[in-house]
Amino acid sequence: MAVPEHTVPAENAGRDAPAAAPTRALEAIGAGAYVVDEQGRIIAVNAHAEDLLARSVGDLLGHDAHDLLHGDAHGQPLPRTRCRMRQAFHAGRIAQMENDHFLRGDGSVLPISWMIAPYDIGGPENGTLVVFEALARPREAGSRPEEAAAGPELERLALLAETTTRLTSTLDVEEALRRLVALVIPRLADWAIIDLITERDEVWRKAVVHAEGDTLVYHEELQGPMPPIPEESPMPLSRALRGVASTLAGPETYRREPDSGIAVEQRGLFDATGIRSAAIAPIRSAREVLGALTLGRAKHPGDFAPADLPLIEDITRRAGLALDNARLYQRQRKVAETMQNHLLPQMPRVPGLEMTVRYLPAPDASQVGGDWYDAFPLSDGSTALAIGDVVGHDLEAAAGMAQVRNMLRAYAWSRTEPPSRIVERLDEAIRHITDVTMATMILARMEEAEGGGWKLSWSNAGHPPPLLISHDGLADYLTDGHGILLGVQAGRRPDATTLLPPGSTLVLYTDGLVEELGHTLDDGLQRLRRHAASLAHRPLASFTDQLLRRVRPAGNDDDVALLALRTPARR
């Protein structure tokens, strides 16, 4: 049960909400920079831009950038039809201009050079990044060389800004590597090679990629495990993998007698790719060396020079931070998944009944949550069934789920009482001896009925109702026995009882199966009823898998627990 931690008021949604993530990346740019949305409104700005424009963040955010800033050399507003930046903005292309003007907040005119490029703002819309620098005077023929160099410098800053935002917006290692490759080729080289050091201190060549026009071709035959890192080798890749330094290299570098297995692999790489000039830089995190990036030029014009290394080092530094964060996240997910597997119980064997369970974690959480199921024998020979949802889908919710489940087992085993009395005791206890604030659950009791068949008794504490499907495909929700959720207030709770027809299927589930953004709960319940009825003839395992595949909403950001039970058919 996911509860939002913060909601942006509607009147601020166009300003404050989008700005936070891009602004952090912009502050790393050593020039004025701002980001506009698809309508041309400013949604993020760095401090350097505030100083150059003599305008505060409040004066900039939410305003149309053209109307606010663009002017001619005399300080007059610039018609939109004459604005080269606006034309490039609408075309969605990279562009630059070395002699233009912005209007400052104090009424003066600021001569600038600028560059714009598409920018990922982490949502369904695309943004545009504007990077600009102030000129000492407007650009004229015969201007100083350092002014002419403003364009390449802006390109460098724009690439670093794009690297930061692209790599930090994913927590998947493989996706981060793909994005890194797409950032550097064919812009800087026509070959990119990434070697990573695994958590077992082994080297693995993760990517060998060649740019053929706008297409990136992965050469899997050149990827795979690498020899160990030599401790003393002076060769460029060996030094980079030890975190020593970035270096230039070429085929001649590895023509000499190889001093290690890595040197042999590098010589084979140069031979196979035709790279004539390469730059090799370590990929570091704040804690350790993660690997190395090799950029190679075969057909790309020009050879790498020492002046290219600082840019490549800046890129690998950002890549190292992103990869380290992704690795830490994946490590956490693995730990959380192991924890979840240990928390969710094995189902008991009940003679005469089929039972199956499924748990699907929230895709964007830490692979663990507050949704749970349970089934266990009771002291009088009947069987308890339970499904529940503790608010949240994080480790804290999982810990609360474990507390609730264990307390429920203890109460249900020790007292032969109707489900409602057990839920009442549990509700009273969790409010005093756990950190659980709110939870929903169903506690049911399955027992053989007099004269044959099976009887179900249950009490519902604010949870979506069980669904009962007959062998003939008639599906009905069991809406009786419904009370308020746990943690709100103590009080008497209702019970309900029904006989389960032969060959019928009972489905207990959590709200992640039926809740979908932009749709009502009734829509989700109707979707579940319709698909469950159509699958009634399937074997129980197939029924359960198909039900999850068909009913769980696309893009669901909540976890799902499901318990399905089937009674024997009439003989």
Question: Where do the domains of the chain lie?
Answer: 12-168, 173-333, 344-566
pLDDT bucket at 344, cuts 50 / 70 / 90? low
Class of domain 173-333 (CATH, top level):
alpha beta
Q: How far apart are CA 530 and CA 533, in angstroms?
A: 5
Mean pLDDT, rounded, for 267-275: 94
Evaluate if residue 63 carries a pLDDT over 90.
yes
Tell me the CA end-to-end span of the chain in Å, nearest whole number: 41
**Which position has the higher pLDDT, 541 or 136?**
541
pLDDT bucket at 419, cuts 50 / 70 / 90? very high
Q: What is the pLDDT of residue 145?
A: 40
pLDDT bucket at 342, cuts 50 / 70 / 90? low
Q: What is the pLDDT of residue 21?
A: 52
Q: Pairing relation of β-strands 191-197 and 247-249?
A: unpaired
Q: What is the pLDDT of residue 148?
A: 40
Q: How far apart are CA 412 and CA 379, in angstroms?
A: 9
**Which position has the higher pLDDT, 399 or 62?**
62
Q: What is the pLDDT of residue 417?
A: 93
Q: What is the pLDDT of residue 508?
A: 98
Tell the burial category of 224 from Cβ atoms under 10 Å away from its Cβ (0-12, 13-18, 19+): exposed
Tell the burial category of 569 from Cβ atoms under 10 Å away from its Cβ (0-12, 13-18, 19+): exposed
pLDDT bucket at 169, cuts 50 / 70 / 90? confident
Q: What is the pLDDT of residue 23?
A: 64
pLDDT bucket at 451, cuts 50 / 70 / 90? confident
Do residues 312 and 305 lie in contact, with contact meaning Cβ atoms separated by under 8 Å?
A: no
pLDDT digits 0-9 by tens, 276-320? 999 999 999 888 899 999 999 998 888 998 888 989 999 999 998
Mean pLDDT, rounded, for 41-66: 92
Q: What is the pLDDT of residue 392?
A: 65
- List the structure tokens of 472: 């003939």
What's the mean per-residue pLDDT of the chain?
85
Q: What is the pLDDT of residue 202?
A: 92
Q: What is the pLDDT of residue 152?
A: 64
Percent of the chain with pLDDT over 70: 87
Q: From 330, 262, 255, select the one nearest 291 (Cα to Cα).
A: 262
Q: What is the pLDDT of residue 412?
A: 94
Q: What is the pLDDT of residue 147?
A: 39
pLDDT bucket at 545, cuts 50 / 70 / 90? very high
Which range, 81-90, 114-123, 187-196, 556-565, is most confident? 187-196
Cβ-count burial 13-22 (b if 16+ within 10 Å, e if not):
ebbeebbebb
118, β-bridge pairs = 128
pLDDT bucket at 146, cuts 50 / 70 / 90? very low
Q: Tell me if domain 12-168 and domain 173-333 are identical in fold.
A: yes
297, β-bridge pairs = 277
Do residues 516 and 556 lie in contact, with contact meaning Cβ atoms separated by under 8 Å?
A: yes
344-566: CATH number: 3.60.40.10
Do residues 321 and 354 lie in contact, with contact meaning Cβ atoms separated by under 8 Å?
A: no
Q: What is the pLDDT of residue 369?
A: 66
Evaluate if residue 5 carries a pLDDT over 50.
no
Q: What is the pLDDT of residue 343?
A: 63
pLDDT bucket at 403, cuts 50 / 70 / 90? confident
Q: What is the pLDDT of residue 553?
A: 86
Evaluate if residue 551 carries a pLDDT over 70.
yes
12-168: CATH number: 3.30.450.20
Reduce the DSSP state of residue 315 to 3 states and report it. Answer: helix
**What pTM, to 2 d.p., does this model score?**
0.51
Q: What is the pLDDT of residue 119?
A: 82
